[in-house]
Each structure stands twice: as structure tokens, then as C-alpha cells.
Chains A and B, each alone.
Chain A
Amino acid sequence: MKVYIPSHLKKIRDVKTTPTELIAFEEKVAEHYENGSIRGPIHLAKNNEEHLIQIFKYIDKEDWVFVPWRNHYQAILHGVSKDKLFKSICEGNSMHTNNISPNFYSSSIVGGIIPLAVGVAMALKRKNLNKKVWCFVGDMTMETGGFYEAYKYCKNFDLPLEWVIEDNNMSVHTPTIMAWSKKQEIPDDVIYYEYTMGYPHHGTGKWVNF
């Protein structure tokens, strides 16, 4: 397990959640999905537990966290109640874990969180708050123009936004390297890690009769 952490970041949080607890949560969601009691798409995580636990040691509980559709691990690690999260997932909202406390927003649109994250970062700076925004994006999203204009804007205006690139070399079912031929170089001021997906893009891999 290897996570690249830029040198300007410092550990500030004691993360007590264990990989076993994260895995158990997703297995519980998977079980309920397979028995037909979750009537909405689910995007489960697996194999990146230790990476995320390490990353959240740098994220303050007051910070804003923006995450794409696969967001359960990040939500738990940022302090969203597991019970509240599970209830929301059972109501079909797996992709939309949107809480104001803790500050957490997820979206099912590729790259859709990026402009929102930039705006929140601008607000924090204007208000002189000692808080940050953390924006998690996948490797395919990192290749988009939207990422680059946001990355450039934040850097030029010194906005308090940290990027986390989660590289599973996959966009739904399309391998990023196949679609783009090669990948861009990873900037040295972003967090970056690679992992192999433990679940399919959507669902659990088993056919479910609803």
C-alpha cells in the first residue's frame, strides 16, 4: 500500500476507524442490495481502506470533503454517522451522501464536484477561515479539461483546496489508459494512490431480482 502525500501536508487527525470496519460496512450494504432491499444503484469500495485511512489523518473534521459516487468510505472517515449513511443508502441515495455536518458532498456526475469545491475554497479564503477543501477525483476525471482549469485556478489564487487522485485506471468499464492512450503526469502537490477495484463499478457482481 503506497500513498503519495505532498510534503506541505501535516497529520492532524487521529483516525480510529479500521479497515475491517470499513469492509464490514460495504459487505452489509452488499448483502442488503443482493436481497433486493436497496432500490437504487450502489458503488462499493474495496482494497483502498488503508489508503483512505492514511489520507484522512491529514483532513480536519471541520474541513469540506467532496467525493464522487463511490463515497461510503470517505463519508465514514469524515464523521458521517454509519447508521445515517446506511439508512440513506437503503433509501436509494448511495451516490448522494450530502451532509452539512460534517461538510460532505458527493455527486454522480463525472467532474461535477470540482467547480463546487473551488467555490467553497474561495469562500473559506474570503472568510479567512483556517479550513480546507479536499476534492477526491478518479484518474479519468483527472484527465478532463475541467480538472485542469480548476487545478490551475486554485494554484494561481492560492485557494485552500487539496486534490486527491484515486487511480483505479477505470471509468465505469473503460480503462483510462485504453481510452486516452497514455496518462498525464501527476502534479507533485496532489495526493495520489493506485488501487485495484474489489467490486464492479456498480452492484456486487451478482444478478439481483428486484
Chain B
Amino acid sequence: MKYKEELIKAMNWLGEKEDVLFLGQACKVSGHSISSTITDVPQERRIELPVFEEMQLGMSTGLALEGFTTVTIYPRFDFFILACNQLVNHLDKMQEMSKGDMRPRVIIRVSVGSKQPLDAGPQHTQNHTEAFRKMLTNVNVIELLEPEQIFPAFKEAYEREDNRPTLIVEHGEFYVTK
């Protein structure tokens, strides 16, 4: 059981679901480590987006309000923090603000940049998992440290009946070391 293989397995499983859409940069084309895990997902399920991190998460939430399940992809945690407003003020609070009427199912994939063999530096390797756990009240936060966590984490994120959104943090370094 390898880290990257489990990610591919989870994405292929999600890619078979009629309601699942994948959004982000290098989603339809190659470009970063996450891109390499969704190459078998049908092209029509993948939406290539411009650089607008906050807009991306809001769009992912909006699509989910109309019944889609969105897998929204951020190749670096450092980039994802630009989407903080949509995460903390909207997606995390939407069930509370709508008294449970609005329960968008959004799965966020965020990668922590690797430091080996190249150290990508202070703006490409940050891991804010614990900070986000403290900030969020409704979004479920999972950090994928071992391969065996991966498929069950995505399966639960898709199947959970309470529709709580899930932030799944992965590590680029583990693609080759685990």
C-alpha cells in the first residue's frame, strides 16, 4: 500500500460518481503532484480554473449548493490560505447560518510542499493543519500521514450523511517516501 497509489485509488473511486466534479489549477492538465493523481478521472469532470483561490472555494461551495460534490484542489497550503474567507466565514458557517437547510458537500485537497530532496522554502512548505483545526467548527480536518488513512478518509468525506465539508491535508513528500 503506497501513499500515491492510495490517492489515485480514492480519486478514481470519486471519479466514478455522477455528482463529483474536480476543480483547480492543473486539474485538466499536468502541473503538480495532485494533478498526477487524477489523470484517470474523466476530462468532463475536471474544471480548469484561473488563479483565484478564494473564488475557487466559493465556486466549489456554490456548485455543491446545487447538488454537486466538489473536490477542490490546492497544490500548496501556502496558496490555500488565500481562500480563508470562503472557508472560515462561509463554508464552515453555512449550516449554522441556514439552520441546517444548506449543507454543501465540499472536499478540499490541500498539499503541504515537500522539503526533500529540494526545499521549496518558506512560502511553499507551510503546514497550517493545526491552525485550521482551531479555526474551524464544522469543517472536518484530516491530515493524511499514512497510506492506509487515505481511501477511508475520502470515502467518508463523500458518504457522510451530515454532509459536513472535509479538508484533507496531504504531504507531497510522502508521494515518494511512503
A contact set with B: CB distance below 8 Å = 93, 96, 98-100, 105, 107, 109, 112, 114-124, 126-127, 146, 149-150, 153
Contact = CB atoms under 8 A, between A and B. Distances in A.
24 contacts: A96-B98, A98-B98, A100-B98, A100-B101, A105-B98, A105-B102, A109-B90, A112-B86, A112-B90, A115-B58, A115-B61, A116-B58, A116-B61, A116-B86, A119-B59, A120-B66, A121-B62, A122-B47, A122-B59, A122-B63, A123-B67, A149-B55, A153-B50, A153-B55
B94 interface: yes
Interface residues of B, number: 28
Interface string B54-81: 1111111111111110000000000000
B97 interface: yes
Nearest to B44: A126
Which of B64, B94, B98: most chain A Cβ within 10 A? B98
B72 to A, nearest CB: 10
Given A100-B98, A146-B55, A118 B50 contact: no
A93 B97 contact: yes
B98 A118 contact: no
B62 A149 contact: no
B52 interface: yes
Nearest 9 CB-CB pairings of A with B: A119-B62, A115-B58, A123-B66, A119-B59, A98-B98, A96-B97, A120-B62, A100-B101, A116-B62
B62 A118 contact: yes
A129 to B, nearest CB: 8
Contacts of A123: 62-63, 65-68
Nearest to A101: B101
B139 to A, nearest CB: 16
B85 to A, nearest CB: 6
Contacts of B64: 119
Contacts of B55: 114-115, 118, 146, 149-150, 153
B63 A120 contact: yes
Given A96-B98, A115-B59, 19 more contacts: A98-B94, A105-B65, A107-B89, A109-B90, A112-B86, A115-B62, A116-B59, A116-B62, A118-B62, A119-B58, A119-B59, A119-B65, A120-B62, A120-B66, A122-B59, A122-B63, A123-B62, A124-B66, A146-B54
A73 to B, nearest CB: 19
Contacts of B54: 115, 146
Nearest to A129: B66
Interface of B: 47, 50, 52, 54-68, 85-86, 89-90, 94, 97-99, 101-102
Contacts of A118: 55, 58-59, 62
A173 to B, nearest CB: 22
A126 B86 CA distance: 22
B19 to A, nearest CB: 11
A26 to B, nearest CB: 21
A146 B86 CA distance: 12
Nearest to A114: B58
A189 B62 CA distance: 23
Contact of A116 (B65, B67, B68, B99): B65
B62 A117 contact: yes
B60 A109 contact: no
Given A115-B57, A116-B65, A120-B63, A109 B89 contact: yes
Contacts of B66: 119-120, 123-124, 127
